[in-house]
A and B are shown apart, each in its own frame.
Chain A
Amino acid sequence: MNTENENPPSRKGDLILEMRNVHIDGFSDERWHEIVKGVDLTLKRGEVLGLIGESGAGKSTLGLAAMGFARPGCKITGGSIMFDGIDLVKASEDEKRRLWGSRIAYVAQSAAAAFNPAHRLVEQTVESTIDHGIQGEEAAMKDAVELYRSLQLPNPEEIGFRYPHQVSGGQLQRVMTAMAMSARPDLIIFDEPTTALDVTTQVEVLKAMRDIVDKYDTAAIYITHDLAVVAQMADKIKVLRYGEEVEEAPTRQMLEKPEQPYTRSLWAVRSLEKPEDISDDIILSIRHVDAAYSDVKVLHDVSINLPRGRTVAVVGESGSGKSTTARVITGLLPPLAGEVTFKGTPLPSRLKDRTKEQLQKIQMIYQMADTAMNPRQTVEVIIGRPLTFYLGLSGRAREKRVIELLEMIELDESFMDRLPGELSGGQKQRICIARALAAEPEIIICDEVTSALDQIVQEGILKLLLRLQKELNISYLFITHDIATVRAISDEIVVMFQGKVIEQGPKTEVLEPPYPEYTELLLSSVPEMDPDWLSNLTELEQAAK
């Protein structure tokens, strides 16, 4: 039975998806919890709905439920999900499987993890189209090239014959969109598709996605926690919290006058800004450093000065050498040339040649708090170990200090014997900060510490870092690609591009025109909370051409 042929093709504006009072339960800690508590959702053909909320708000679960799919350990317990006349709650697995990949498609957050590394891109792009018998192989291949072209992938004829590891993250994400579009589905679900990308790439992917959704009148659900992104993509926005709808409104109205206090608090995050404070008391200085991974040179003559008690933000897209700079400072990657001096004395270039005191004074906080903490150690061990190792504390004294540190990061002693898996993302990052503080450092290197977090949690972490800096006079070297974060925390800015320092100076100077070309691109790529921003940017670019 082929449903596609029986129904007359629906047109733009027809109702395509209607979810009524959907309840979804998830199983954890040996009991069922309600994750989604009775949410309604309607979507018309050609419409894009933005679904936003903090992590744990149930947005991904709801997005997947729109396909009639529940993750392992979840089940849809109530409500109806009508997709073009078919109730997906009642539909059999076979019926749903016929829809998935042909009429409903899904674009996952991490394209790198979603592709099979053993097959060429084009094979994976057209796989479901051919399997569902929508097009023959040859036609589907030709169509894939067309899609690559409209997604502005370089060499659309050839790129399909590469393997997933041979293209960049942004390109992979676009190929994944092509994969979803290949069968010309009626509904696409984008689950945080640009979260893992840096700003300059993100803009390209967003543009491509928006154009293609527009072109084929596809309905889409766009799940994200980034408001500025959703403002570009969506016609209407639905805010979720604790599995319940907070409010829903057309994008423009939602941005201009959100009704609920919670929505307003989401909007307010971006306004954090630290007054600039310049100092000449240099504590750490990187001089003319060249560095390479085996044969590939990644840093060219990099010099950065970090004043005491101030924040220097290092900005740039991925691959610009920001993290490599951090590795040189910490001694993980000995530089080919140049030196790093700490309080006027040069640091040994190798980690194992450094003294305990030198190691103690420079601490590091990582991007992914999940992997930065040993999942088998309790919070007490994680924070307590530097205390024992550097300061020789043990027993009651150590316990007391751990509690002090927990209070410093706005947590309390009830966290002492939890494992990292029992903490939320923001709490994990706080524990990482406490671990760094435990060593009583003078410098903390923060490597993208907020980029994996929700905005409201980000704000909390940034405020905490600022407060700690004021109280303890710590210097931060803050590596990030997010300009809003830079505004919030830095005194000075270093812009890096392809392993070179492009611009360096006080925040106000760097963020004010005139900019060097790359800084301009970087700044203009940061999505703003204006629904017209992407369109304006595109027009500007076309005018420039």
Chain B
Amino acid sequence: MTQANQDKDDFISPEAESYSAAAEVGFVRKRRTRFERGWIELKKAPLSALFGLTVICIYMFIALFAPIIAPYGEADVFPTPYGPWSPEHWFGTDQIGRDVWTRLIYGARNTMGIALVTTLLSFIIGGGLGLVAAINRSWLDQFLSRAVDVLMAIPSLIFALMLLSIFGSTVSSLIVIIAVLDSTRVFRLTRSVAVNVVVMDYVEAARLRGEGIGWIMRREILPNIMPPLVAEFGLRFCFVFLTIAALSFLGVGIQPPTADWGSMVRENASLIQFAQYDLTAALTPLLPAAAIALLTVAVNFVVDWFLHKTSGLRDEH
């Protein structure tokens, strides 16, 4: 916008005798666009973060272009169940003869897609209510916090199992139930970090100006609590991911024929026993498990890096 003016007061010489407020800061940080700044950060990122980012990018690519990449259809059944690894079926076929590689690819799409939607929803619910509770420190805060305490007191997996058997195992009920249960954690985090920001003078200044709660939430508080929330988002994503996989493993998660990594582990679990006869067959149930593990590790690498960046921890120079 005002590029021409950016560099003119780059450095003010010590000889400048007359006092001028504009010249007070000697070095002026050169303004960069968001993209440039991101690129610089990326170049300095540690190896682990780059690895994590690469893995996530590959997963996203696979999830987005699943129908193009996958050799067969998601629910195509072939004549040989438990087929061995072969050029036609890279990772063999499962118990009713579906191509495992194809289902791994579609599984990325389903499992990750559902996990992402669920995490977003839990952040909208938990984050929104957490902010409201932090700003409005009255009976509403008490009510919400105690309600969250009650929800958190019940073991979440068992609670989710119960709710799913009440409402049925559809994808939408799965998303809503896990999102609500997970939003309790998000609520607590948001509330506790927002409370520290709410007491700042600039929030008081906004109140004195007569700003509504919407502006204060979105423009004054939210930008200042983003780092912990983003870090939490990464972690939460993994937990949701694992919860869905666990529920699928237990048979109440994503229902067949939709491919999902958790249920793939369960369906082919018995193959592990054949390790002594055919090592590749035994590996088949471990493939979706490894896919889950790899993504979890990758996301956590990126989150670690992000936390390190925003927490102000600096390496000794």
Contacts and interface: CB of A to CB of B under 8 A. Distances in A.
Given A366-B201, A414-B8, A422 B25 contact: yes
Given A29-B27, A33-B27, A426-B24, A460 B19 contact: yes
A277 interface: no
A75 interface: yes
Given A330-B208, A359-B209, A368-B201, A424 B25 contact: yes
Q: How would you classify the secondary structure of chain A's contact residues: helix, strand, loop or mixed? A: mixed
A319 interface: no
A505 interface: no
Interface residues of A, number: 59
Given A356-B210, A374-B220, A430-B21, 17 more contacts: A33-B27, A241-B14, A242-B14, A351-B210, A364-B208, A366-B205, A371-B200, A372-B205, A389-B209, A410-B22, A411-B22, A422-B25, A423-B25, A424-B24, A427-B22, A435-B205, A457-B24
B86 interface: no
A416 B2 contact: yes
Output the residue of B202, B219, B314 with the most chain A CB within 10 A.
B202
B205 A416 contact: no
A449 B14 CA distance: 27
Nearest to A31: B27
B173 interface: no
A309 B284 CA distance: 83
A331 B29 CA distance: 39
25 contacts: A29-B27, A72-B314, A75-B317, A244-B14, A332-B204, A332-B208, A351-B207, A351-B208, A351-B210, A359-B208, A359-B209, A373-B202, A374-B202, A377-B223, A386-B209, A411-B21, A414-B5, A414-B8, A414-B9, A417-B31, A418-B29, A418-B31, A424-B25, A427-B24, A460-B21
Given A364-B208, A427-B21, A422 B201 contact: no
Enumerate the 8 nearest inter-chain pairs by beta-carbon distance, A residue then B residue, closest first: A414-B5, A376-B223, A372-B201, A424-B24, A371-B201, A359-B210, A374-B202, A366-B201
A242 B8 CA distance: 20
Interface of A: 27-30, 32-33, 56, 72-73, 75, 241-242, 244, 261-262, 265, 330-332, 351, 354, 356, 359, 363-364, 366, 368, 371-377, 385-386, 389-390, 409-418, 422-424, 426-427, 430, 435, 439, 456-457, 460
A426 B2 contact: no
Contacts of A390: 209
Interface in B205-245: 205, 207-211, 219-220, 223-224
A427 B209 contact: no
B88 interface: no
Contact of B211 (A27, A389, A411): A389
Interface in B1-48: 1-2, 5-6, 8-9, 14, 17, 19-22, 24-29, 31, 40
B224 A417 contact: no
Contacts of B27: 28-29, 33
Nearest to A327: B204
Contacts of B223: 374, 376-377
Nearest to B226: A376
B202 A372 contact: yes
A392 to B, nearest CB: 14
Interface in B285-307: none
B169 to A, nearest CB: 42
A377 B205 contact: no
Nearest to A244: B14
